Amino acid sequence: MGRSVAVFCGSGLGTRPEYAQAARDVGRLLAERGVTLVYGGGGKGMMGTLADGALEAGGRVVGVIPHWMMEKEAAHPGVAEMRVVETMLERKTVMAELADAFLVLPGGLGTMDELFEVLTWSQLRLHGRSKPTGILNVAGFYDHLRDWLARAALDGYIRESSAGVPVVDDDLVRLLCGVLR
pLDDT of 180 reads: 79
Sequence-distant (6+) residues with CB within 8 A of 61 are: 27, 36, 37, 39, 51, 54, 55, 76, 78, 79, 80, 81
Domains held by the chain: number: 1
- ∠ CA 18-23-27 to the nearest 5 degrees? 145
Residue 106 CA from chain centroid, whole number: 9
Give pLDDT tens digits for 146-170: 999 989 889 988 876 666 688 999 9
pLDDT of 128 reads: 64
What is the spatial distance between Cα 139 and Cα 1, in angstroms, rounded to a whole number?
A: 27
pLDDT of 1 reads: 40
Q: Name which residue leads in pLDDT, 70 or 52.
A: 52
pLDDT of 74 reads: 80
pLDDT surpassing 80 at residue 2: no
> Any idea what DSSP says for residue 77?
T
Give pLDDT tens digits for 22-65: 999 999 999 999 999 999 999 999 999 999 999 999 999 999 99
Other Cβ atoms less than 10 A from the Cβ of 161: the count is 7
Sequence-distant (6+) residues with CB within 8 A of 177 are: none
**pLDDT (mean) for 77-91:** 94
CATH number at residue 62: 3.40.50.450
Domain carrying residue 107: 4-179
pLDDT of 162 reads: 63
pLDDT of 120 reads: 86
pLDDT of 72 reads: 74
User: How many angstroms separate the Cα of 155 from the Cα of each of 29, 99, 150, 158, 173?
Assistant: 36, 31, 9, 8, 31
pLDDT of 73 reads: 64
Other Cβ atoms less than 10 A from the Cβ of 55: the count is 19
Give pLDDT tens digits for 114-155: 999 998 888 877 766 678 999 999 999 999 999 999 898 899
Nearest Cα neighbor of 142 from 166, 159, 160, 124 is: 166
